[in-house]
Amino acid sequence: MRAKPRITRIEVTQFTYELPGIGREPTVAIPIYEPGGLLRATANAIREYTHAGLTGEYVGGSATEYSALPQFAGSLIADQLPQATIWSLTKLTNRTVSG
């Protein structure tokens, strides 16, 4: 049986993009159609690299959620926790910062 891929590096990127024809609704600030409008938005992406050359990527999540990453990233890279343990640790960490 082959060894499971081990995470060797985690990269987080925050980027902005523009949505033409979109503006913000004035009372609750949700995106709405607005002729001539231009909404500038920010998004986050994460990429995980493995020793086997595989990468995993995900785009989404708030800056608050990504702020919890330093609390458990070392465990993902160094300890190579089982997937169920990673999931539990992530839920617990994010619950404390994002409600």
d(CA 5, CA 7): 7
Instruction: Confirm whether 2 is domain-assigned.
Output: no
The yes-or-no verdict on residue 85 having pLDDT over 90 is no
Domain that holds residue 49: 7-98
With H, G, I as helix, E, B as strand and everything else as coil, classify residue 47: strand
The yes-or-no verdict on residue 93 having pLDDT over 70 is no
Strands (E), 28-95: 31-50, 55-59
Give yes or no for a contact between 17 and 43, defined as CB atoms under 8 angstroms apart: yes
Instruction: Confirm whether 78 is domain-assigned.
Output: yes
- What's the CATH code of the domain at 76? 3.30.390
| Across 20-46, average pLDDT | 94
Instruction: Confirm whether 12 is domain-assigned.
Output: yes
Instruction: Confirm whether 41 is domain-assigned.
Output: yes
Instruction: Confirm whether 20 is domain-assigned.
Output: yes
Instruction: Confirm whether 39 is domain-assigned.
Output: yes
Residue-level pLDDT at 87: 66
Strands (E), 7-92: 7-24, 31-50, 55-59
Q: Which residue has the higher pLDDT, 33 or 92?
A: 33
Domains: count for the chain = 1
With H, G, I as helix, E, B as strand and everything else as coil, classify residue 59: strand
**CA neighbours closer than 13 Å in the CB half-sphere of residue 87:** 3
pLDDT per residue as tens digits for the range 36-79: 999 999 999 999 898 888 899 999 888 888 888 887 777 777 66
